Amino acid sequence: MENTVEKKLKSLWKLQSIHSEIDKIRQVRGELPIEVADLEDDIAGLETRLGKIRNELDELEDNIVKRKNMIKDAEEAIKKYEGQLNEVKNNREYDAITKEIEIQGLEIQVCEKRIKEYGFDITKKNELYEEAEKDLAYSKGELDEKNEELKTITSETQKDEEALLKKAKTAEKKIDARLDKVYKKLRSSYRNGVAVASIERESCSGCHNKIPPQVQSEIRQKKKIIICEHCGRILVDEEIAESK
């Protein structure tokens, strides 16, 4: 019968092999899922920006309307004061009414200046709005293409991945909790996801550093779990690596 350590190593190697197959499938998708997520973030940001510009444009339009109403009120006030000039009884009253007419005239000038400034701001913000709309349309087009590409790749590999994930779940149940925790930590530590490495040409297949002959002998004896002194991966011999 196989000893306990050998069983553990075989179970670990089987799980690693399944996970490596899953990784290969996901590598086919490349950076597409990340690109899709980035585009979705860009689109959300552009939509927020468009909404903000739209609110600013509405506010500017409201300000123009307010200023036009102020001009209208000032013009009516001037007409009223001009009518009162015909009824003044002394220079003091005349000067007071003339001063009011002058104030209303200045109010009109200020309002006209503000309206021009608002108009300039509206022109600029409309340009920004149109630019953001173009960026949004482009990003949406890119997202549609990336989603279609991802959908095609996913549909081609989904069944295989689901089957492998099911196998991985079953294989994981055969590994004790402590070892499984070590395996997961190692797997997440390396970009290629390899936590269990085999001996290849007297070297660790994970980091490609030479394994001393004495250590190779200990690995083949399968009496204890041995890790690579260079990269920390769990090591298995050629026999386990070639087993199904």
Judge whether 4-26+176-242 and 31-160 match in fold: yes
Cβ count within 10 A of residue 117: 14
pLDDT tens per residue across span 82-101: 999 988 889 999 999 999 99
Cβ count within 10 A of residue 175: 19
Q: Which of 211, 215, 193 is nearest to 203 (CA)?
A: 211
State the CATH class of domain 4-26+176-242: mainly alpha
Any idea which architecture 31-160 has in CATH? Orthogonal Bundle (1.10)
Residue 58 and residue 109 in contact, taking contact as beta carbons nearer than 8 Å: no
* pLDDT score of 39: 96
pLDDT tens per residue across span 129-179: 999 999 999 999 999 999 998 888 888 888 888 999 999 999 999 998 999
Taking the model in full, what pTM does it have?
A: 0.58
* pLDDT score of 26: 86
Cβ count within 10 A of residue 188: 10
| Domain spans of the chain, in order of start | 4-26+176-242, 31-160
* pLDDT score of 1: 38
Strands 196-200 and 203-204: antiparallel
Q: Which of 186, 197, 202 is nearest to 228 (CA)?
A: 197
